[in-house]
Amino acid sequence: MDEKRELRSRWQRVAKLILAKEDLLTVIDRVPEWIENISWITDEIDDIYSKRFGRRRDWPASFHVLPFALDFSDLDGFGNLPSLFRRDIFVLNYVLSEVFDLDELLPIMKNMVKGCPAGAHFLFIDRSDNQTSGKMATLVEELGLEEECRGETKGNMDTDEQKSELQDISEFLRKQPRVTWNAEWILAVKPERK
């Protein structure tokens, strides 16, 4: 039980980083179409916050999205790439399992770490398989990050849940929900300089 309590405390610290200020979400992807999905999500957050909290100044957090497509294989066109990554939280959601050669991802990740402040958090979420788990561990080590905690989740929707309960979201996203999952995550932090 103490492990769960400590894990919850760590997530609360990360959540406080998010909610403590106005947040700028930078979405970087090779595929510009994914950026549209993020815009839909933030529009939905705006609608929910408007209904629940009224005026924008009364919202518990405010989100601004800065989307752009970036070809990881051609980073030479940027004069000061680390300046793009002055952020406190990075979420890599199912990125590593899509990268066949980790050396292709390392230059952009090194620029992220170089540009962010000490104490910035990196959350890696991906498939729980030997190859992807190895990539996660290698990346955390190669980037000089310190692992704070890790976990995995494997399961499926409860028997009392129905796929139809997600129908509104499915229609909005034009995708069917996953009813099973097998995922692993690592929360790492950029250490203070010594």
pLDDT in the model for residue 70: 64
End-to-end CA distance of the chain: give it in Å, rounded.
Answer: 34
Residues of the chain with pLDDT under 50: 18-21
Domain CATH code at residue 121: 3.40.50.150
Would you say residue 138 lies in a domain?
Answer: yes
63-76 confidence digits (pLDDT tens): 666 666 666 666 67
Distances, alpha carbon 118 to alpha carbons 76, 87, 142, 191, 193, in Å? 25, 10, 16, 6, 7
Contact yes or no for 95/30 (Cβ under 8 A): no
State the residue range of the domain holding 36. 1-69
Query: 96 with 177, same domain?
Result: yes
- Residue 81, domain member (yes or no): no
State how many domains the chain has.
2
Same domain membership, residue 65 and residue 94: no
Residues 101 and 56 in one domain: no
- Residue 154 sits in the same domain as residue 194: yes
* 76 belongs to a structural domain: no
For residues 109 and 143, the answer to whether their CB atoms sit within 8 Å is: yes
32 and 106 together in one domain: no
Q: Kind and range of the H or E element at 106? A: helix 102-115
> Is 134 a domain residue?
yes
- Inside any domain, residue 74: no
77 occurs within a structural domain? no
Q: What is the dihedral of CA 134, 184, 109, 173, to 10 degrees?
A: 130
Task: Judge if 186 and 111 occupy the same domain.
Answer: yes
Contact call for residues 183 and 152 (beta carbons, < 8 A)? yes
User: pTM of the predicted model, to two decimals?
Assistant: 0.65
* Predicted local distance difference test score (pLDDT) of residue 107: 86
Say if residue 149 is in the same domain as residue 111. Answer: yes
Each residue's pLDDT tens digit, 87-125? 778 888 888 888 888 888 888 889 889 988 999 888 888
